[in-house]
A = this chain, B = another copy of it.
Amino acid sequence: MATIFDIAKKAGVSITTVSRALNGYSDVNENTRQMIVAIAEDLKYYPNAAARNLQGKKTNTIAFAPRLNDHLEAEPFFKEFTGVLALASFKHDLSLLVTLVSQNRNIEEVYRELAGTGRVDGIILADIRPSDERIALLQSLKTPFVAFGRTQDYQRMKYPFVDVDGKAGVMKVIEHLYKNGHRRIAYMGESFTLTYALDRYDGYRQGLKDFGLVEDPRLVGSNLQNEASVSAAVKQMLALPAEERPTAMVAGNDYLALHLLEVLPGLGFSIGKEPGQIAVTGFDDLPFASFLQPALTTLRQPIVATCTVLLDLLTALIKNQSEPVSFSEPDPGLTLIGPNQVLLQPELIVRASA
């Protein structure tokens, strides 16, 4: 690869002049510049990124560094999200460095490396826990970052994040079910280690309360991860006396709902909104949701909007703007719940399953 030295030699000028000419400085003779640019093109010169980074320059690269979830149920969402984020990064003229962070490896190490090492300009965090060491860590490292999701102490910690309002979402679902006559509503939850899972469950409890329903522990499944665990939980609930059985099941995500659709018919239960059927809902609205049989009633996560806002926030932080961020495509369901703290509303998509 050609370097600025090669260009300088060929042009009979110093490397300083080359650098300035190529970086569009104004104090270079127009003729000199043109000559240098021509030679650079001729030599197929492209600046070495490492050398540039070493000078503290921008990399035009951001990292997406989620904690790798061992729950397989999260994989479809991960793929969808990563794909959308890659596309969104492209629109922002950024490269995306995907670095998965293993649970058992020293988490701190990875983020320190990412932050202090000059490979990326900023970091997008995901899979946030109610109390997540990574927030304080990244704050102390002074690296621009935005979280997808939030901790419990987000008000005090004052870090930038984008979150989808899972609580409000599930409350909408409960309302929908209640208005359709359901009084015994079960919740099928994933592992409660991540904030969003707790948040959704919270919406379930609040929803029940709002409509004067009492939570029945026998109707709450948690830590569901695959068809086997869903099946076990379902069997237990449906073994209850008929009048105590749930008439509706709210799943913490589409993948669990999918399992419900697979398991219930095998146990002799029909799914849908008719009396006698069991209503089933999901969360996410992944691409397959509309094709399920019956089509899944679910909450649509605004993934595209989420990624857009994440990048808007992050690029603003990178540019060190202290001005309030303006969003490239403002979303109707967007609320600013703090400085650089954004909440997006999921949309209830009513289909045949509930």
Binding site for B on A (CB under 8 A): 1, 44, 46-54, 59, 61, 68, 75-76, 78-80, 82-84, 86-87, 89-90, 95-100, 102, 109, 112-113, 116-119, 287-288, 291-293
Contacts and interface: CB of A to CB of B under 8 A. Distances in A.
Q: Quick one: which of A44, A82, A83, A292 has the most chain B CB within 10 A?
A: A83
Contacts of A75: 83, 87
Contact of A54 (B1, B54, B59): B54
A59 B59 CA distance: 14
B97 A50 contact: no
A145 B352 CA distance: 48
Contacts of A100: 86-87, 89-90
A236 B37 CA distance: 54
Contacts of A288: 287-288, 291
A330 B7 CA distance: 48
Nearest to A116: B1
Contacts of A109: 46
Contact of A119 (B50, B78, B89): B50
Contacts of A52: 50
Given A49-B119, A80-B83, 5 more contacts: A46-B117, A50-B119, A68-B90, A86-B100, A87-B100
Nearest to A59: B119
Contacts of A112: 44, 46
B82 A49 contact: no
B98 A95 contact: yes
Contact of A117 (B47, B54, B76, B96): B47
Contact of A287 (B54, B113, B287): B287
Nearest to A84: B79
Nearest to A142: B1
A109 B119 CA distance: 20
A84 B288 CA distance: 17
A79 B90 contact: no
Contacts of A116: 1, 46, 48
Contacts of A292: 291
Nearest to A141: B1
Given A83-B83, A98-B89, A48 B287 contact: no
Contacts of A68: 90
Contacts of A87: 75, 100
A87 B76 CA distance: 12
A99 B89 CA distance: 9
Given A83-B79, A112-B44, A293-B291, A97 B61 contact: yes
B46 A287 contact: no
A49 B90 CA distance: 23
